[in-house]
Each structure stands twice: as structure tokens, then as C-alpha cells.
């Protein structure tokens, strides 16, 4: 009995000690504050939809200079690589033969005109005498026929003179257009022939200049569907030319036309842009890129690229802070990059706050302490109509 009475107080004391320890442990754990995240509030914006396309430059006008008569080159009258005007002489052929033919034709015309004068006088006399019977009707008809024949001979002689004059003019080969002329393929003393296959020189008009672009036909269909749906307003905007090395050409171009057919081998079609080129910086055959604007979207939602997450399958999502400062996960669909932001098609709305920094510290359902990026100076957004890069 004495042993039992000794154990009971010991059990009571041990229980009290354990309870005290339990109370001290609960009071010693500090409460962790919600993690801080940086957010951006989405606002609707007016977005210009652009596309960067590859292209090649082509001369606005091209004329290959060829002789229209046979002859020997006597002089070259231009400077290779220089500017020429329409109608400016380029080559002089030896024209002695053509000048002689021209003079002969003029002499034949004078002879025909003299014969016509005599025929007129005879016809007038015949008309006066036929009424009195001094000249027979047959002689009168013959006089009138001679007059008509003389008039025809004059017309033929005049045509021969004009032809000889034209052939003489062809001996001086002129530029058909204004522009920059290339190298000469012949030198003085060379024999050239009419309509020969080899051009003597080539003149190209470089101001303005064409830029021929290629665009996928699927992109055109996508734009037309968006226009029909009313989500995009079609617009023809100035075209910006990007030179090799990334430099921007100082003059903007204008879309001239779109090809009416699609290349079956590539699935693309041609866009032709006319670009002012007063300094002749652009030369035919150069590779350039062009930023073409084809539509405008009102009230578009642009999300910073840091806010858009991708999983292993390529699905896109974003973390949104709701009105209770609790994280929510959203499945989103984006279409293209514009500057440093994605154009959102589905999943996000204006006024919502997306997390752009601190994503790794939070999970859906967690309370957070949101800090606006604009106020914190951590997020610099680009204008909505920033030009997107090729392939986006």
C-alpha cells in the first residue's frame, strides 16, 4: 500500500510537466507573412498587327537598250553607272548610208510633187475644154486619172521620206527611260544589228523602287477570318523597310498590290511594296525585311511575357491574383508576341492582375502580398503597336 501511494503523485507531476511543455511549444511558432509577388494590371489597348516578311528589291522600270538598225558604233555618249534622261543619246552609229537614203527619198518626193503640179494643170485645162468638145471625154478621163496617180505618187514619196527619216534617227540610239545606266557591252567600232539578243546597256529607274515580299497564304486566310469576325479592322499602314544588319531605311513604303494567285510549291503569295529611294541606297537584288501592318485590334489584352507560363506539352497558363489577394491559375491562349508582351486571345480579362515576379514562391490557393510593377519600377512595358519579330 505504501508503494502505490508513492506512484500516484509522481504521475500527476509528470502530466503537469508535459502539459507545460506543450503550451510552450505552441506559443513558440511564429506566423509567416504572405509571400510578396510583383503583378501587372491588364488594360485594354489598341494594337496594330504587323508582320515582318522577307523580300527582294527590284527596279521600278527596266529598259534594255538594243539597236533598231544595223551599223558600226561610232561613239558612246554616256558615262557608265551614271544617270540618264529619257530621250538622251547613248550611242551614235555611222549614219552615212541612212543619211543618203533620206536625201534620196526627199528628192523623189520633190519629183513626185512636180509631176503632181503638171497633172493638176492638165486636169484643169481638160475640164474647161471637154464642155466645148475640144477634148474628148476619153482624154478628159485620162487627165483626171493621171492627176489621181500623181497624188498617190506624192503620198508614197512622203511615206518614203518619213521612213528614211526614222531610220536615220535610229542611227542615234537614245534612252527609253530615265534612270541609272549600267555598263556598256560594246565599244566604238563594234558591229551591231537590229533587234540583236544582246543588250547594249540596261537602264533602271531606282526611285521609287519595288520591294517584293512573300507571305504565307494561311496568314492571309487567318486575317480575313478575323476581319469577318469583327475582332480585327483591316488597314493598309506604311511599310517599314529593315536593311541587312538591322538598320531601318529612312523612307516608308506603301503596299502596291497583292498577287492574285498562290505559289503551289511554297504556299505563299507575292506582296509588292513601292518605296521612295531618292538616295539610291536600295539597289535591285538586295535582301531586305519589311514590317507590314495589315490590321488593327481594339481593346486587345497584352500580357507580359514573364506572366505566361508553359508546361512540357506547350500549354500556356498564368497566375492571377484575385480580389482577396489569393493566387488563381488560368489556362490562357496567346497568338503572337508584340514587343515584350503576348497578345492574349482567351483566359485573361482587362483589370486582372497577373504575377510577373515571384511565381516560384507561390501556388494556386495561396494568399500573397501583391506589389504593382509600375509602382515598384520593375516592369517596363512597351507600346502596344511595337513591331513584332519575324516568325512570331
Q: DSSP letter string over 258-321?
A: E-SS-BTTTTEEEEEEEE--TT--S-TT-EEEEEEEEEEEEEEEEEEGGG-EE-TT--EEEEEE
Query: For 114-127, what is the mean pLDDT?
Result: 87
Q: What is the grid cell recorded at 373?
A: 510593377
For the chain, the straight-line distance linking the first and the last C-alpha, in angstroms and rounded, comes to: 92
Identify the CATH number of the domain defined by range 96-170.
1.10.287.470
Contact (Cβ atoms closer than 8 angstroms) between residue 56 and residue 211: yes
Portions of the chain given CATH number 2.40.50.100: 72-93+172-198
pLDDT in tens, 326-383: 999 999 998 888 888 888 888 899 889 998 988 888 889 999 988 888 776 644 444 4
pLDDT at 86: 94
Q: Which residues sit opposite 297 in a β-bridge?
A: 47
CA distance 76 to 315: 69
Better-scored residue on pLDDT, 52 or 200 = 200
pLDDT at 383: 47
CA distance 203 to 66: 11
Identify the DSSP state of 85: -
Q: Which residues sit opposite 48 in a β-bridge?
A: 296
CA distance 250 to 273: 15
Portions of the chain given CATH number 1.10.287.470: 96-170
What are the φ/ψ torsions at residue 335 (nearest 5 degrees)?
Answer: -110, -45
CA distance 51 to 223: 11
pLDDT bracket for residue 22 (50, 70, 90):
very low
Distance of CA 339 to the CA centre of its chain: 21
CA distance 45 to 366: 30
Q: What is the grid cell recorded at 237?
A: 499602314
Global model pTM greater than 0.85: no
Q: What is the grid cell recorded at 379?
A: 516592369
Identify the CATH number of the domain defined by range 72-93+172-198.
2.40.50.100
Portions of the chain given CATH number 2.40.30.170: 38-57+207-376
Burial class (CB in 10 A: 0-12, 13-18, 19+), 173: buried
CA distance 236 to 296: 10
Domain 38-57+207-376: which CATH number of 2.160.10.10, 2.40.30.170, 3.40.1280.10, 2.60.40.1180: 2.40.30.170
* DSSP strand pairing (254-258 vs 89-93): unpaired
Count CB-CB contacts under 10 A for residue 117.
12
pLDDT at 389: 40
Residue entry with cell 500556356:
316
Query: For 199-215, what is the mean pLDDT?
Result: 93
CA torsion angle 356 359 361 364 (round to 10)? 120
Instruction: Please choose, from the candidates 346, 338, 360, 353, the residue with its C-alpha nearest in 3D space to the C-alpha of residue 315.
Output: 346
Amino acid at each position: 500500500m505504501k508503494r502505490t501511494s508513492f506512484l500516484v503523485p509522481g504521475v500527476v507531476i509528470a502530466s503537469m510537466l508535459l502539459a507545460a511543455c506543450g503550451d510552450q511549444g505552441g506559443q513558440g511558432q511564429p506566423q509567416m507573412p504572405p509571400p510578396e509577388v510583383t503583378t501587372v494590371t491588364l488594360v485594354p489597348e489598341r494594337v496594330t498587327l504587323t508582320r515582318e516578311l522577307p523580300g527582294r528589291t527590284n527596279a521600278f522600270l527596266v529598259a534594255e537598250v538594243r539597236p533598231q538598225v544595223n551599223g558600226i558604233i561610232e561613239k558612246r555618249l554616256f558615262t557608265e553607272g551614271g544617270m540618264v534622261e529619257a530621250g538622251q543619246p547613248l550611242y551614235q552609229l555611222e549614219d552615212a548610208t541612212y543619211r543618203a537614203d533620206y536625201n534620196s527619198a526627199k528628192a523623189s518626193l520633190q519629183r513626185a510633187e512636180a509631176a503632181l503640179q503638171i497633172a493638176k494643170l492638165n486636169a484643169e485645162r481638160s475640164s474647161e475644154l471637154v464642155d466645148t468638145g475640144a477634148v474628148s471625154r476619153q482624154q478628159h478621163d485620162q487627165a483626171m486619172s493621171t492627176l489621181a496617180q500623181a497624188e498617190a505618187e506624192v503620198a508614197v514619196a512622203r511615206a518614203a521620206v518619213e521612213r528614211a527619216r526614222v531610220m536615220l534617227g535610229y542611227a542615234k540610239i537614245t534612252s527609253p527611260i530615265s534612270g541609272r545606266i549600267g555598263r556598256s557591252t560594246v565599244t566604238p567600232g563594234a558591229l551591231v544589228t537590229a533587234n540583236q539578243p544582246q543588250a547594249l546597256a540596261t537602264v533602271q529607274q531606282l526611285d521609287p523602287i519595288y520591294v517584293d515580299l512573300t507571305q504565307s497564304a494561311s496568314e492571309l486566310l487567318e486575317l480575313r477570318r478575323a476581319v469577318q469576325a469583327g475582332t480585327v479592322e483591316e488597314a493598309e499602314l506604311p511599310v517599314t523597310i529593315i536593311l541587312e544588319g538591322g538598320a531601318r531605311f529612312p523612307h516608308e513604303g506603301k503596299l502596291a498590290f497583292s498577287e492574285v494567285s498562290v505559289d503551289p510549291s511554297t504556299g505563299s503569295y507575292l506582296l509588292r511594296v513601292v518605296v521612295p529611294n531618292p538616295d539610291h541606297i536600295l539597289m535591285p537584288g538586295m535582301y531586305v525585311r519589311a514590317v507590314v501592318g495589315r490590321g488593327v485590334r481594339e481593346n486587345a489584352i497584352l500580357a507580359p511575357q514573364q506572366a505566361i507560363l508553359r508546361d512540357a506539352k506547350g500549354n500556356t497558363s498564368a497566375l492571377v491574383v484575385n480580389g482577396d489577394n489569393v493566387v488563381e491559375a488560368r489556362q490562357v491562349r496567346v497568338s503572337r508576341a508584340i514587343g515584350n508582351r503576348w497578345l492574349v486571345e482567351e483566359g485573361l480579362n482587362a483589370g486582372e492582375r497577373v504575377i510577373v515576379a515571384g511565381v516560384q514562391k507561390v501556388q494556386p490557393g495561396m494568399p500573397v502580398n501583391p506589389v504593382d510593377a509600375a509602382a515598384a519600377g520593375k516592369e517596363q512595358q512597351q507600346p502596344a503597336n511595337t513591331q513584332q519579330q519575324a516568325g512570331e
